[in-house]
A and B are shown apart, each in its own frame.
Chain A
Amino acid sequence: MPVRMRTALVPFATLPLADCAGRQSALDPQGLQSNQILQTLFIFLIVAAVIWTAVVVVLCIGLLRRKRHADQPLALHQGFERTSGYVVFGLGLVTLIIVLGLSIVSYAGQRTVFAKDEHALTLKIIGHQWWWEIRYEDDSPHQSFVTANEIRIPTGQPVKVELESADVIHSFWVPSLTGKMDLITGQKNELQFTAKNPGVYRGQCAEFCGLQHAHMAFAVLALPPDEYGRWRDHENQSATSPTDTLGKQGEQLFRARGCALCHTIRGTLAGGQLGPDLTHFGSRTTIAAGTLPMSSATLGAWIADPQHIKPGSNMPKMPLQSGELIAIIHYLEQLK
């Protein structure tokens, strides 16, 4: 197991932040909760390994040891029958004690993992087929904004995510930070976690949610608190208008070619509610809910034919000429 952990870490250590998919491993805990869970897991693992080894050793000795010679299967040795009765009973008792002990260990871990902090930073996450709507809500409305598929949080501060679903059941899971919690239609769930270190932590939907369940990922970017504050202030602002011709053309095409029917870009006339909010799209690390890394090439491929990359996705293929596509890509990329 430790070997796997090391190999899992190597690629992330060598790549720049924006290029990597992010860590996604319960064996690589970067949050207080995932760390606690891993400790509980190790206790269980050790107990399990000891018991399994003991059973296999007893089995082997039992098979290989020298046996009495008697051809009549019912000629049993009374001493053995009695002793084995006591031994079986005793081992049953030991099993009971072990499972009760493990239940207590488990419950202690559970209390820590699900401990609540009243002052946690609160986000609302709404699951959609097959992307994540992320709402940063604040007491003052002008501090509230919406984004998608990428969550930025400050390190060292408890974060509370309120989980809801817009359609079917999804499950929010960032294994490097904490365990999962379902997003259930008609129910509000919540989950708290704290990232210890800055980094990119990949998450993925863990409850089967239909055709493209496999392509419903997201990233959690844990930032130092001051950097987080700057990001939040910037993210809260409306999109900047493009200054160059190509950008302006892209903005116009974004509306003319129907993109704006589904997508919102704050500060423009694009106000669709069905798809992800694209206000600061250019600053995100992935597209199509973690399906592709962000680059001009992948973005072009995605917009040109979403159904090729994510068959069944709710984003239709729009008839675009190559010049129009380039303009839209250029416009979206400068939405930093």
Chain B
Amino acid sequence: MSMMAEQRELRDDALNGLQLSTHMESIWRTPSGFSGALMSVDHKVVGRRYIVTAFAFLLLGGLLAVLMRVQLAKPESTFLSADKYNQIFTMHGSTMMFLFAVPVMEAFAVYLVPLMVGTRNIAFPRLNAFSYWMFLFGGCFLWISFALNVGPDVGWFAYVPLSSLQYTPTKRPDVWAQMITFTEVAALAVSVEIVVTVFKQRAPGMTLDRIPLFVWAMLVTSFLVMFAMPSIMVASTSMILDRLVNTRFYDSSSGGHPLLWQHLFWFFGHPEVYIIFIPGTGMVSAILATFARRPVVGYPVVILSLIATGFLSFGLWVHHMFVTGLPQLGAGLFTASSMLIAVPSGLQIFCWLATLWDGRPVYRTPLLFVIGFIVIFVMGGLSGVMVASVPIDTQVHDTYFVVAHFHYVLIGGAVFPLIGAVYYWFPKITGRMLSERLGRWNFWLAFVGFNVAFFPMHILGLIGMPRRVYTYTADMDWAHLNLLSSGGALIFALSFALLLANVIHSLRNGALAGDNPWNASTLEWATSSPPPPQNFDRIPVVKHRDPLWFDNESLPVVAGLSAERREVLLTSLAEAEPQIREASPEPSIWPLLTAIATTVFFIGSIFTPWAVLWGTPPMAVALIGWFWPAGHKEDEE
């Protein structure tokens, strides 16, 4: 001990320039080779994998949407059988909600939040790696099942008693329910990491009112995940128990009730929409400030709106159940609470409009997608006000009107900002710009295709077309609008093909980006593109909400972190004052092994309850390996 104290460890203030960069890189880099790739705990590596995987699921889910639109393009089509169609719409919804929309937002957060708050890695990096593996295995489990014709076919909401053993005596609902467990474990892990990263690892000086809006959005989202997801885990697990060991949670003949499922599902399901939408608003705020060339108007208003949206989102799940025979006054109150969420959403829209009003817009592709977002999302929000009304909902519930509504909200509110975010952050992640010319085509195809695909669905719903029907007869007068919608869907699909082409082309041939190609203001642009393994050679010090605009010549930094081992700086929650240096984990294979053990346990337990017994020891072994003391100096002292 005394020897070590005398021999003072190497700190980053002893090195400078290139020497510092290469030295820090050697400490933080992911080991090379295949096994190194499996061991990586770098948030950028994991984040990139997360983003690519989530987009792969988007393409798969989108392909299913195209198949459905082909089937519905004409009446009495025999392109898909009823069984295939039911599997496909279930897979489409489940994939888009659980394997694309939520993970992709968390993926961007995993990549960007540590950079934006100026730290070297996410909190709990091994948990982060574990989270990715769980997400990957859960997604593959669902899709392999689908390929083996065991794809779920009871809707992404899996209402009981249809999904009970009695009415669906196959393994299909179990696959669905256990896929939920996988993705929820992954999502909860990421949420914990984000909250801790934001609360404890912000760069010195990044007080609560200097946190970038995207980071605020992800912080609120993470809390939503932590409060909403347990509800669906309880629901899906009790469903598996009902099916596997004959419990009676949802069996009305034994004192259970099918509506319990709906309450549990929508208590998760409605916040879920905001878990997808709030990150979208964060992306909008980030893109808008950069391309309107000024900070977003009403920073505190936007943050309070995010928090208010988060709270309100837990008080309106019942509007999914207006036609289940609820007491009338109660239903009426949920009308009011549902509409109330228009207030914080509206406040954000007004702030963005004011930002564009005062700013000097630079019309690059990310801004185009944000403008498209405003036009589409406002319409979706307003149709949302309509479906929040009990009498209107009794007509449009479970019709194509609702399909139109939530695609306007989710594609308009989350996917448009997301594609904008891809164009915006692609240079940071890859070091190369996406093609601007293809970007414009991408935007206009997406905007036109989307509206042609989904606007007619409003009318289809009102003229009587219910959701989830695999076909309809010619005399129903729905054929023309369905054909139009299918045509739009193809154009919309084409826009994603273009995005893919742009990404593949630009990865090799895109113009070099440089550190800060958009002249943006937040910390992720203060490092190179792509960022080095250590993110920043020295931790930046933040003196303003827009650090790179305020200190545009040179950013102040702190020094004194270890240059011998991985270390991050912990700061206080409110004022971000430096508190202690904290070791950050080395690469490890154990998260992968734990994820494999957990996967065996999860998949086994839909076939036999004994899997809970024999599945546990391997998990225990993996976790012991994971938490085996690594012999850090810090641990020994």
Contact = CB atoms under 8 A, between A and B. Distances in A.
Interface in B383-440: 383, 385-386, 388-399
A40 B389 contact: yes
Interface in A98-137: 98-100, 102-103, 105-107, 109-114, 129
B335 to A, nearest CB: 5
Interface stretch (B36-44, B347-355, B599-607): B347-355
A42 B225 CA distance: 36
Interface centre among A68, A73, A84, A181 (most CB of B within 10 A): A73
Contact of B354 (A74, A88, A107, A210): A88
Contacts of B328: 110-111, 114
Contacts of A52: 378-379, 382
A51 B382 contact: yes
B358 A44 contact: no
Interface stretch (B51-59, B114-122, B292-300): B292-300
B434 to A, nearest CB: 23
Contact of B463 (A4, A74, A190): A4
B258 interface: yes
Interface residues of A, number: 96
B607 to A, nearest CB: 24
Contact of B466 (A76, A107, A206, A211): A206
Interface in A152-182: 163, 167-169, 171, 173, 175, 178-182
Contacts of B82: 211-212, 214, 311-312
Contact of B335 (A26, A77, A103, A311): A103
A95 B343 contact: yes
Interface stretch (A59-67, A138-146, A237-245, A271-279): A59-67
B477 interface: yes
Contact of B464 (A51, A73, A163, A175): A175
A48 B339 CA distance: 13
Contacts of A20: 475
Interface string A1-24: 100100110010000000011001
Contacts of A114: 328
A297 interface: no
B257 interface: yes
B546 interface: yes
Nearest to A84: B354
B470 interface: yes
A58 B349 CA distance: 11
Given A41-B392, A59-B375, A63-B356, A180 B398 contact: yes
A16 to B, nearest CB: 14
Contacts of B159: 168-169, 207-208
A268 interface: no
B378 A63 contact: no
A74 B391 contact: no
B22 interface: no
Interface in B462-508: 462-464, 466-473, 475-477
A74 B546 contact: yes
A107 B393 CA distance: 12
B371 interface: yes
A182 B379 contact: no
A316 interface: no
Contacts of A44: 385-386, 389, 392
Nearest to B89: A208
A48 B472 CA distance: 30
A89 B300 CA distance: 12
Nearest to B466: A206
B466 A185 contact: no
Contact of A99 (B339, B390, B467, B471): B339
A207 B163 CA distance: 13
Contacts of A168: 159, 161-162, 167
B3 to A, nearest CB: 52
A78 B323 CA distance: 51
A51 B378 contact: yes
A34 interface: yes
A73 B521 contact: yes
Contact of B477 (A1, A7, A105): A7
Interface of A: 1, 4, 7-8, 11, 20-21, 24-28, 34, 36-37, 40-41, 44-45, 47-48, 51-52, 55-56, 58-59, 61-63, 65, 67-68, 72-74, 76-77, 80-81, 84-85, 87-89, 91-92, 95-96, 98-100, 102-103, 105-107, 109-114, 129, 163, 167-169, 171, 173, 175, 178-182, 184-187, 189-190, 202, 204-214, 311-312
Give 4 nearest A-B pairs by CB, closest first.
A179-B394, A186-B252, A24-B464, A214-B469
